[in-house]
Structure 1
Amino acid sequence: MQADPTEQRRLLDLAAVDKNLAGLAHRRRTIPQLAELESNQAELTASERELGEVTTTRSDLTRDMDRLESDIDNVRNRQERNQQRLDSGAVSASKDLEALQHENATLRRRQQTLEDQEIELMEQAETLDAQIEKITAARDEIAARRGTAEGERDDQWAQLDVEIADEQTKRDTLAASFAADLLGLYDKIRATGVPGAALITQGRCGGCRMELSGSELAAVRSAAPNDVVRCESCRCIQVRTTESGL
């Protein structure tokens, strides 16, 4: 392929713009807020999981307390009915009176046991409620930090997007000034991950930084000014100027 030497040198301007675009894209992908948000999300996920576990335990405890309260009410009601029968005089046989009094004594002991269990569960509930409050506060603090980081991220992205748009406009304008075949070759090379074009400086390729061998230097020196020369190592277009040391 051949191209005017001036047009070949202008490829360096295009390569500089593409380098700026790549740098801006890298900055957009690696702004500190993204790592912070990832950390925030991990913390928030762990906090939500812990809150869910404690809340589930608290719900189970509530059911146990409700069951105990129901059992206590049943025992109280049974005692009240027995006491009413005793107070009414409806039971006169000594054997029946003794049975009712024995049952009431048993019910009182049962009630005391149930109430002791209820107090124990209430103490556990207070501990769990305190944990839930603490975890919720921590979760809300993490969420607030995440919100701040999201705002900072969006501000950074907005600023970078303006810079990227400006560079892309420069790129589009500059690219339109090249012959289609030369630009196509440049873009094809750049798509492989190396610069599309680079300056030969003091006998060294500016794309891969490799020093040209004797035979490579000889080939470059013998090439016509309008020949498009490519690096044997990285395959980028080698632009020749007075700085090339040829």
Structure 2
Amino acid sequence: MKAAPEDQAILLDVQRLDNDITRIAHRISSLQKGAKLTELGTTAAGLRSELVDATGKVEDAERDLARLESDTATAQARIERDTTMLQNVSSAKDAAGLQSELDSLQRRIGDLETSELEIMETLDVLRARVGDVEAKLADVEAQRTALVAERDTEIERLEGDRVSATQSRADVAAKVPDDLLALYERQRARYGFGASLLQGGVSTASGVTLTGADLQAVRAAAPDDVVLCPDSEAILVRTAESGL
């Protein structure tokens, strides 16, 4: 294929813009996947599970405390009833029976109150744990909210850059002859690069220095010959920098 050297040189601008568009697309994709957001989401899910567990233990302890308080109230009501009866009983045997029950009820209340104190101490610890988990969860959610806002702002900016680069690419590509552009697109689709500057004997697409034989073949080609890079298969653009 033949193409004017200046048309071949335009391909370097097309390639540069394609590289920019690809880089922007990768950056947007990376932001959308959001490794940090995923990490925070996993942390938040773990904290929610921990919060459910901690809250459940608080509720269980509160039910136990309520039961003990109810049992204490029942025992206290029986003490008040038995005390009233004891004041009015005339039989020594009945009085002894009531006094024995009162003594038993007092011991029962003592045991219940001890259990209540133990559960209240446990509740303090459990409620503190709930508060701690809630604080951690709130902090993680705040981080996620801020990160989402930053991500969306950055993606919006990148989308603008992509639109601009895509338009610039179209404007530049329009200056390239159709057959040359078609070859560029084909090589780029196959190998990742459509055009490569030969700079000081090095193909910038592959980063490889051309061998003596390859350089000799390039030197032998006419200026308007379209030459492919032997390593990257991109169109090898020759300029004054090529070292030929």
Equivalent position of 1:138 in the other structure:
136
- Given that 2:191 and 2:232 are in contact with CA atoms closer than 8 Å, whether structure 1 keeps it comes out as no
Equivalent position of 1:102 in the other structure:
100
- Given that 1:194 and 1:207 are in contact with CA atoms closer than 8 Å, whether structure 2 keeps it comes out as no
Check 1:69–1:215 CA distance in 2 against 1; reply closer, same or farther (3 A cut). same
- Given that 1:65 and 1:121 are in contact with CA atoms closer than 8 Å, whether structure 2 keeps it comes out as yes
Identity, % of aligned pairs?
36
Equivalent position of 1:147 in the other structure:
145
Indicate the larger mover: 152-161 or 204-213.
Answer: 152-161
Matches for 1:22-37 after TM superposition, within 5 Å: 22-28=22-28, 37=37
How many residues are aligned here? 242
Superposed displacement of residue 237, structure 1: 1.4
The C-alpha deviation readout for 1:184-203, integer Å capped at 9, x for no partner, is: 43234334563220111222
Superposed displacement of residue 40, structure 1: 4.0
Check 1:100–1:156 CA distance in 2 against 1; reply closer, same or farther (3 A cut). same
Indicate the larger mover: 199-208 or 137-146.
Answer: 137-146
Q: CA RMSD in A?
A: 2.8
Equivalent position of 1:70 in the other structure:
70
Equivalent position of 2:13 in the other structure:
13
Is residue 2:126 matched to residue 1:128?
yes
Q: Distance in 2 between matches of 1:217 and 1:149?
A: 51
Superposed displacement of residue 54, structure 1: 2.0
Q: Distance in 2 between matches of 1:5 and 1:98?
A: 122
Q: Distance in 2 between matches of 1:98 and 1:183?
A: 113
Q: TM-score, normalised by structure 1?
A: 0.82
The C-alpha deviation readout for 1:136-183, integer Å capped at 9, x for no partner, is: 233323333333333233322222222221111111222344344433
Indicate the larger mover: 167-176 or 38-47.
Answer: 38-47
Equivalent position of 2:109 in the other structure:
111
Check 1:191–1:98 CA distance in 2 against 1; reply closer, same or farther (3 A cut). farther
Give ranges in structure 2 of 5+ residues lacking alignment. none
The one-letter code matched in structure 2 to 1:186 is Y
Equivalent position of 1:172 in the other structure:
170
Q: Distance in 1 between matches of 2:200 and 2:159?
A: 37
- Given that 1:14 and 1:174 are in contact with CA atoms closer than 8 Å, whether structure 2 keeps it comes out as yes
Indicate the larger mover: 175-184 or 215-224.
Answer: 175-184
The one-letter code matched in structure 2 to 1:144 is A
Superposed displacement of residue 225, structure 1: 3.5
Superposed displacement of residue 231, structure 1: 1.7
Is residue 2:200 matched to residue 1:202?
yes
Superposed displacement of residue 4, structure 1: 3.7
Check 1:181–1:94 CA distance in 2 against 1; reply closer, same or farther (3 A cut). farther
Q: TM-score, normalised by structure 2?
A: 0.82
Q: Distance in 2 between matches of 1:192 and 1:55?
A: 58
Q: Distance in 1 between matches of 2:152 and 2:125?
A: 41
The one-letter code matched in structure 2 to 1:172 is A
Q: Distance in 2 between matches of 1:168 and 1:233?
A: 28
Q: Distance in 1 between matches of 2:116 and 2:102?
A: 20
The one-letter code matched in structure 2 to 1:105 is D
